[in-house]
Every structure is written in structure tokens, then in C-alpha cells.
Amino acid sequence: MLKMSKIMVVFLGLILWVCSSVMASVTYDHKALVIDGKRRILISGSIHYPRSTPQMWPDLIQKAKDGGLDVIETYVFWNGHEPSPGQYYFEDRYDLVRFVKLVQQAGLYVHLRIGPYVCAEWNFGGFPVWLKYVPGIAFRTDNGPFKAAMQKFTAKIVSMMKGEKLYHSQGGPIILSQIENEYGPVEWEIGAPGKSYTKWAAQMALGLDTGVPWVMCKQEDAPDPVIDTCNGFYCENFEPNKAYKPKMWTEAWTGWFTEFGGPVPYRPVEDLAYAVARFIQNRGSLINYYMYHGGTNFGRTAGGPFIATSYDYDAPIDEYGLIRQPKWGHLRDLHKAIKLCEPALVSVDPTVSSLGSKQEAHVFDTRSGQCAAFLANYDPSTSVRVIFGNHPYDLPPWSVSILPDCKTVVFNTAKVNAPSYWPKMTPISSFSWHSYNEETASAYADDTTTMAGLVEQISVTRDGTDYLWYMTDIRIDSNEGFLKSGQWPLLTIFSAGHALHVFINGQLSGTVYGGLDNPKLTFSKYVNLRPGVNKLSMLSVAVGLPNVGLHFDTWNAGVLGPVTLKGLNEGTRDMSKYKWSYKVGLRGEALNLYSDKGSNSVEWTKGSLVQKQPLTWYKTTFNTPAGKEPLALDMSSMSKGQMWVNGQSIGRYFPGYIASGKCNKCSYTGTFTDDKCLWNCGGPSQKWYHVPRDWLSPKGNLLVIFEEIGGNPEGISLVKRTTF
Ligand code: GAL
């Protein structure tokens, strides 16, 4: 009897073990990811945790769930987590574990794209800047120091997730992980070392034994069993590199990012829904919206250069955390329709038949009761009536109808039933300011370092600040002909970027800046010099480090010369090899003027301000307006700088950079591209800057602004965002 029950216990235990390993498992086959033994069609959306506040996370996740998402995807932001070698940070907006657990609590899955190269319009593509200065390093190739650092960070994240039991294999929400990011095109450029790096990256990731599949996006040669996936505006024709891998779309771009100097892109939801429906009808099984909530590039996290502080992305949840309609609602309806088809979609491959010259039916018929059909009209200009199963169906141009029972249309991608909401920014209050003048730094002063020649900016600042002063003395002999003729000499400065303010004897002589496509700049101006010593002070400003492009990590910033003065008795004087004095950062930064303590450490001038004054700090205090509506600052009266509230950096502002581009009326039909649908041409690329309510106290909030070029702070207002 006793013997029997022992055997029974062992047997039951075995059954339980087998069941639980099926219960908590993620595998895949040619059709789909198989979660807990079941194939799934999964709808996923990107929400990058540092682009909102932890207090916003539960609401964003809930809105994503209500929008029909099964999965939340995020990158992991290495430079946020390891600001200096071996010193880790996982607090506040970087509390990755908290974020993943909140997704879990909402009952959703997580796709953790560790990278750790992430691109993402994020500073330096997510790499910590110190990494660049590791001896012998070369990024994203078959290089020992790089691979060691990448492995160390990836392993750290994986073990952290394992320690918290967050992989699905442990009962947690993470069902998928990504290593690298869009490495295929780089590999194609660099050849052999790229190929071996790809193999190494895959093996390294697999060796970490997460118990869930790995993906590599835009990586046609992703080594088995890693799944290669597609990124793009459309992915219906993508096929994974092996027939037994599922077809997945890791980045379905919901819009596009804004750059300072560019208009604001948007993507009509009819086209996005059409792209998704086409992907699903062509056997796609996972689609991830990039972005579902784009959020904000707070602090100095924006990549670029010149990526705007807003990372709204025209996503279904707007920068401020409000649902964007009709986008959010139309996609929710699409997801419902897809979910109704799921049993058929996961069971069989579609039969494709022609319904006309540009019309097709994709039918998933299990022949055992499950049947789902997608009727597509690829024609960008004409509505068509097609006959399917002896019934007529009207298909608007560039649309797909979804019939979860092969008879009834429950959704057409071009017929939007969700309501339209318009965003509204209502001014609530303006401020009364105090100002503090940031002195122009001067060559050979005590707080400067002198070196021969011009040096690359980031090698000096290590990106601890946007600012580096380059200073020298220009000696002008009293015999100089220009002093009599009044024909001032021409000062020419070549800089690798990104922005430059030139001061002569403490006066702003001019400002020049580049753009995302070409950060290089040239300053060229006739300058008024006096006999004797003239102080040339150039404030070189970084506006976000590049995040993409071949060898982007090697691109320079700062004044590399030549710096010349033309029109002297001697002809042209080349000052590039002169002794140059350097000063890292602003005095106000060193004094922490944006903190309570720091702001009290200096004398501010009250009230009346000299308008349009360069290099000026402004401070004010304000009480938080009642209500729950998200808040923003309207900065359109200012030019360029940074701002902080209660010591938290809201980010860079740059309303002085006017959006140039073509803002034509755009139709949802026809192939979408990143510059097809744009608005805001001729206005500041970004006028409003999100101030999270979570950073505010009810009373006495300290708002500090540093203006580089000159603006009118009296024009700044606090606004609330609503929709109507
Ligand atoms: C992709 C990249 C993303 C993001 C996107 C553009 O190529 O993987 O990280 O940069 O482009 O927003």
C-alpha cells in the first residue's frame, strides 16, 4: 500500500513537472510563438521606460492593454544603467524591474530588447560614452574589448531578470529578447568581422540561457535558433531565414521622430492598419508598434544630433500619456478583429486567390469549422466591389476587410469608426523671472586648461555636459590696415558640430548650427577687432550624440578647425595651431543653479530683464495648477537651451530652429514614407515641452532655464494638454 502511494506520488510529480514546463514555456514553430503549448498571434507595442515617469507607467500600460495589446516591448538603455564603468543605476525612470513587473501585473507579456545597441534616437544609440575610451575598442564588430563589455552588460541584465524570476520560463512575463539591433546593414558594409560578430552575439545571447527565444531584427543571417525579424513601415513580404521560424515584425513604425529643424511627421491610421492587416494575412504572427507610446527625451537622452525632446512619434498614446484618437481606437478595433481570427490564423496557412487585378483574398480555412478571410484591395485610388463566396464586398482603396467567419466583415482598415480627438494646449499661467548672467569664459582664466591646437569636444567633455568653451587671444597690431580702412577682417571657423556661439570681447558675434543630416557648420563673419588683445571665446554645443550610421561612435564634435582670420597685413592668419584654452561646461552647471541649493548660492537680478540676452539663466517658482491634465511649457518665445524643474531636467529646448520641409496634404493611400505626411512647416519644430506632474510639488516649484542665444522669458507659459 505504502509502496503504491510512493509510486503514485512520483508519477503525479512527474506529470506536474511535464505540465508546468509546458505551462511556462515559450518556443516557436513556423507559424507563431508557442506560449505554454499554444500558438499565439501577438500584438505588441513599444513603451520605453525612461521616456516617461514611473508614476505614468501603470496608466500607459493599462491604456495599451485596453488598446488590445498582449505584449509591451522595450529596449534596455545601457548608458542610463551604467553611467560610469561598473556603477549601475536602476532607480526612478531606469527602474527596469519595476517596469517589467508592472507589465506583468497588468497581465501582459514583455519583449525585452537588450541590444545593448538600441539606436532609438537615443544618445549614442544607448552606448555609454565612457565605452568609447576603453583602450583598443571598436564598437559592434569582432573586437575583444567591445565584446567583453557587451557581454558583461547583457549578462547583468539577464541575471537581474532571472533573479526576479521575470522570464516566462520562470513564470514571469518576458517571452522574448533581442540581441543587437538592425546589425544586418552594418555587417553588409564591413564584411568578415561583421559576420563573425553576428555569430558571436547570437552564441553569447543563447549562452545566457533565458529559456525564451532570442530575436535579431534586420539580420537576414541570424544564426539558428535566433529568429530574424522585420522592421519597417510595411513588412508583408518579409520572410524569416528558415521555414521553421515564425514571421514577426519587431518595429511597425506608427509615425516617425521629430528632429530640431524638421516638421512633425505623422502616419494616417488607415495606412498603419492596412500594413498590419497585410502582414497578418501573409502569415505574420507578431507585430510590435514602434512606438505605442513614444514619450519624451528628458535630460540629455536625445540622440541625433538634433533629435527633438519630444518623442511623440504620432503613437497611439501621445507624448503626454493621452490616447490619440482615432489612432488608438481604430487599432483597438483592428486588434479585436485579428483576435477573432486567431484560432484560424494559428492553425493553417492561407490560400491566396485573386479577386481582381489588384485584389486578393487570403483565406485561413481549417476545414473543421474555423475560417477567417482577409479581402485586400491594393489599388491606391479606386474602390472596388469584389465577389467572395458568392457575396459582394465593397473595398475602399488601399484597404483590407477582415472576415473572422469568412462571411461577415467586422473591420475594414480604411473605415474608421473611432472618434477623432484634437489635442489642445491651454495656457494657464506665465511666470515672473529672475535672471543670472553666465559669464563668457575667457582664455587663460584660472578655471581653464590650455593646450596647443584644437581638440575634439567629446574627448574633453566625455559628454558630461553639452558645453565646451574654446578660447584664445587674437593680437591686433596698431598698424593693421583694417583699423584705418574700416574693412574688418573675416573670421572663419570650421566646426564638426553641433552648434557654436562665437563671442568677441564678451559680445555675441553670431550663432551657427548644423542639422541631423549634416551636423558640421561654418562660422564666417567680418569681425570688429581692436588694437591689442582681443578675446575670442567660442561656446561649442553638442545637441545629442549620433545614434545611427556606420561607425557613428567615431564621429567628431566641436571646433576642429581651421580657424582663420583673413584681411590682415600678413594676409590670412591661421589660428588653428595656436594655444587654446578650454573650459568644460557652464559656470551655472558647476554651481547646480537648477537645484534649490545651487540657485540660492548666487545673486539673481529680479524683474526687468534685458531682452534677447545670450547666455542667461532664468529662474522662477510656481504652484502646481489643480487638476490632472498633463502640463507643458510653451517655449516659443525662447531660442535654444535647457530647462529644469525641481532639479529634474525637462530636456533641451530649441524653438529657434524652424521646421523646414514640405507639409503637403497627405492621403492615407499609397506607400507611406517618413516624409510623406508632415505638419508644422515654418513653425518651431518643437514649441511645447512636457513637464511631468510627478516632478511637481503642490507649491513653490523651482523652474530654471538656461538660454544660449537670447529670448523673451516673459513669453513662456505653463499650458495644460487636453483633447476635445
Ligand atoms: C529603427 C531602429 C529604431 C529606431 C527607428 C527609427 O531602424 O531600430 O531603434 O531608431 O529606426 O525611429
- What are the DSSP calls for 431-463, one per residue? ---EEEE-PPP-TT-TT-EEEES---HHHHHTT
Distance separating alpha carbons of residues 40 and 27, to the nearest angstrom: 11
Q: Please identify, by atom number, the ligand 1 atom nearest to the C-alpha of residue 181.
A: 8
Virtual torsion, Cα 370, 374, 375, 379, nearest 10 deg: -170
Q: Could you tell me the three cell numbers for 329?
A: 481606437
Distance separating alpha carbons of residues 706 and 19, to the nearest angstrom: 61
Distance separating alpha carbons of residues 699 and 247, to the nearest angstrom: 53
Residue 702 per-residue DSSP state: E
Residue 624 per-residue DSSP state: P
Question: Cis (ω within 30 of 0) for the bond into 498?
Answer: yes
Distance 115 CA to ligand 1 centre (A): 12
Distance 570 CA to ligand 1 centre (A): 51
Residue 241 per-residue DSSP state: S
Burial of 205 (0-12, 13-18, 19+ CB in 10 A): buried
Question: Helix 269-281 and helix 327-345: axis angle, to 10°?
Answer: 10
Distance separating alpha carbons of residues 323 and 301, to the nearest angstrom: 24
Please give the average pLDDT of every successive group of 10 residues along the chain, which has 724 residues: 52 47 84 98 98 98 98 98 97 98 98 98 98 97 98 98 98 98 97 98 98 98 98 98 98 98 98 98 98 98 97 98 98 98 98 98 96 98 97 98 98 98 95 94 88 97 98 97 96 97 96 95 97 97 97 96 97 96 97 97 82 91 97 98 98 97 94 97 98 98 97 96 94
Distance 670 CA to ligand 1 centre (A): 22
Dump the DSSP string for 569-597.
TTEEEE-TTSEEEEEES-HHHHTTTTSHH
| Residue carrying C-alpha cell 581651421 | 562
Distance 149 CA to ligand 1 centre (A): 23
Q: Please identify, by atom number, the ligand 1 atom nearest to the C-alpha of residue 257.
A: 12
Cβ atoms within 10 Å of 73's Cβ, excluding its own: 26
Distance 648 CA to ligand 1 centre (A): 27
Q: Name the strand (E) or helix (H) holding 15.
A: helix 2-23
Closest by CA position to 74, among listed 24, 32, 109: 109
Q: Please identify, by atom number, the ligand 1 atom nearest to the C-alpha of residue 313.
A: 12
Distance separating alpha carbons of residues 86 and 23, to the nearest angstrom: 37
Those residues with Cβ within 8 angstroms of residue 441's Cβ, 6 or more apart along the chain or in another chain: 447, 448, 469, 471, 537, 539, 581, 583, 587
Distance 519 CA to ligand 1 centre (A): 19
Ligand 1: residue of 292, 548, 552 to mutate (most ligand atoms within 8 A of CB) is 548
CB 116 within 8 A of CB 201: no
Q: What is the CA radius of gyration of the chain?
A: 29
Ligand 1: residue of 51, 121, 297 to mutate (most ligand atoms within 8 A of CB) is 121
Those residues with Cβ within 8 angstroms of residue 722's Cβ, 6 or more apart along the chain or in another chain: 322, 423, 424, 426, 629
**Tell me, what's the pLDDT at 18?**
45
Torsion sign, CA atoms 83, 84, 86, 91: negative
Distance from the Cα of residue 360 to its chain's centroid: 36
Distance 231 CA to ligand 1 centre (A): 8
CB 720 within 8 A of CB 421: no
Torsion sign, CA atoms 405, 406, 407, 409: positive
Q: Please identify, by atom number, the ligand 1 atom nearest to the C-alpha of residue 182.
A: 8
Residue of minimum CA distance from atom 10 in ligand 1: 120
Residue of minimum CA distance from atom 6 in ligand 1: 120
Sheet containing 717-723: give its strands across.
423-430, 717-723, 631-634, 688-691
What end-to-end distance do the CA atoms of the chain give, in Å? 74
Strand partners, 374: 362, 402
CB 535 within 8 A of CB 495: no
**Residue positions counted in the chain:** 724
Distance separating alpha carbons of residues 62 and 450, to the nearest angstrom: 55
- Answer left, alpha or beta for residue 643, where phi above 0 means left and psi between -120 and 50 means alpha: beta
Distance separating alpha carbons of residues 295 and 422, to the nearest angstrom: 18
Residue of minimum CA distance from atom 11 in ligand 1: 120
Residue of minimum CA distance from atom 3 in ligand 1: 120
Residue 323 per-residue DSSP state: B
Distance separating alpha carbons of residues 257 and 122, to the nearest angstrom: 11
Look at strands 616-622 and 434-437 and give their pairing: antiparallel
Residue of minimum CA distance from atom 5 in ligand 1: 120
Those residues with Cβ within 8 angstroms of residue 480's Cβ, 6 or more apart along the chain or in another chain: 531, 568, 569
Catalytic residues: 182, 251
| Residue carrying C-alpha cell 511597425 | 252
Ligand 1: residue of 218, 234, 251 to mutate (most ligand atoms within 8 A of CB) is 251
Strand partners, 563: 493
| For the chain, the helix, strand and coil percentages under 3-state DSSP, each to the nearest 5 | 25, 30, 45
Residue of minimum CA distance from atom 9 in ligand 1: 120
Residues touching ligand 1 (Cβ under 6 Å) are 118-121, 181-182, 231, 251, 257
CB 401 within 8 A of CB 412: yes
Q: Please identify, by atom number, the ligand 1 atom nearest to the C-alpha of residue 121.
A: 10
Q: Please identify, by atom number, the ligand 1 atom nearest to the C-alpha of residue 547.
A: 10
Q: Please identify, by atom number, the ligand 1 atom nearest to the C-alpha of residue 120.
A: 9
Ligand 1: residue of 229, 266, 290, 547 to mutate (most ligand atoms within 8 A of CB) is 290
Distance separating alpha carbons of residues 526 and 509, to the nearest angstrom: 9
Those residues with Cβ within 8 angstroms of residue 703's Cβ, 6 or more apart along the chain or in another chain: 431, 619, 620, 621, 622, 633, 643, 644, 645
pTM of this structure: 0.96
Torsion sign, CA atoms 18, 19, 22, 24: negative
| Residue carrying C-alpha cell 544603467 | 81
Distance 717 CA to ligand 1 centre (A): 33
Those residues with Cβ within 8 angstroms of residue 248's Cβ, 6 or more apart along the chain or in another chain: 33, 215, 227, 229, 230, 240, 284, 285, 286, 287
Distance 555 CA to ligand 1 centre (A): 19
Q: Could you tell me the three cell numbers for 657?
A: 530652429
Distance 146 CA to ligand 1 centre (A): 22
Q: Please identify, by atom number, the ligand 1 atom nearest to the C-alpha of residue 118.
A: 9
Q: What is the 3-state secondary structure (H, E, C) of 107-139?
A: CCEEEEEEECCCCCCEHHHHCCHHHHHCCCCCC
**Tell me, what's the pLDDT at 664?**
85
**Tell me, what's the pLDDT at 75?**
98
**Angle 268-219-197 from CA coordinates, rounded to 5°:** 140
